[in-house]
Amino acid sequence: MILANNKRVIMLNAQIIEPYKGYQKQWFGTGGAKYSDNKNQEQDLNASLERFQSHHLADLDKANLMDRVDVKFLLPRAFLPGLLARLQNYYSVLEINNQRISRYYNQYFDTNNLRFYYDHHNGKLNRYKVRQQTYLDTNTQFLEVKFKNNNKRTIKSRILCSTTENNDHARNTFIQGAMNMSYDDLMVSQQGGYQRIALANEASAGYGFLHSQFSWRCDLA
């Protein structure tokens, strides 16, 4: 994990990759799917996480993840037990509703000419990413704008989504203020779900996320 102070957070994202062959597809909520090869692996993972102390969202007083540097790695699933064993004495794990593996569903937005995708693909700095993120375990949604500046820092802003009639107005106001364009000019370009293990060492403001069980699809013709 990477250490940082509460004003300059560096966040580690580890994407856990695993072979698809032999997996069974199980939908775990709106828009998301998970794949598991056998119950033993899931039981071993849950047993590893039970050895961690836990924290809750309200406990992360020093977490300033809205302004950060992201560092991402791809790791084979076989690395996971050893990695967790090394971290358990230094990090706590996020627990929500007695669950230590959280479920997410994301919708990503783009322009008709896929401006955000091509900016990312071409490595352009001072670029944007827009998504609606659903926390399936708490049934909450946020509309988010991520801005990657020319210092390679990620600046995130977001609003809580609601089901009221004023929701579209709030979205338009937020997008206009965050990136000077209209929400009506955006469309859903891709969507998918995944599972996350969130670890924290608040004393040193070190944070990390382990993502796995991806299911993704592109909505463009």
Strand, helix or coil for residue 61 = coil
Alpha-carbon gap, residue 135 to 70, rounded angstroms: 21
At 4, list the tokens.
């940082």
Q: Give the pLDDT score at 217.
A: 67
The predicted model scores a pTM of: 0.78
Q: Give the pLDDT score at 184.
A: 94
Residue type, 111: T
Q: What is the pLDDT along the chain (221 residues), one digit of tens a residue?
A: 333 333 344 445 666 554 433 333 333 344 333 434 556 677 788 889 999 999 887 776 555 678 888 888 888 877 888 889 999 998 999 999 899 999 999 999 999 999 999 999 999 999 999 999 999 988 899 999 999 999 989 999 999 997 555 688 899 999 999 999 999 999 999 999 888 898 988 776 667 888 776 666 666 54
Q: Give the pLDDT score at 27.
A: 33
β-sheet bridge partners, residue 146: 129, 156
Q: Give the pLDDT score at 11.
A: 46
Buried/exposed 129-147: b ≥16 CB within 10 Å, e otherwise: bbbbbbbbeeeebebbbbb
User: For the chain, which domains are there?
Assistant: 9-216 (2.40.320)
Q: Give the pLDDT score at 30.
A: 40
**Dihedral pair phi/psi, residue 35, rounded to 5°:** -125, 135
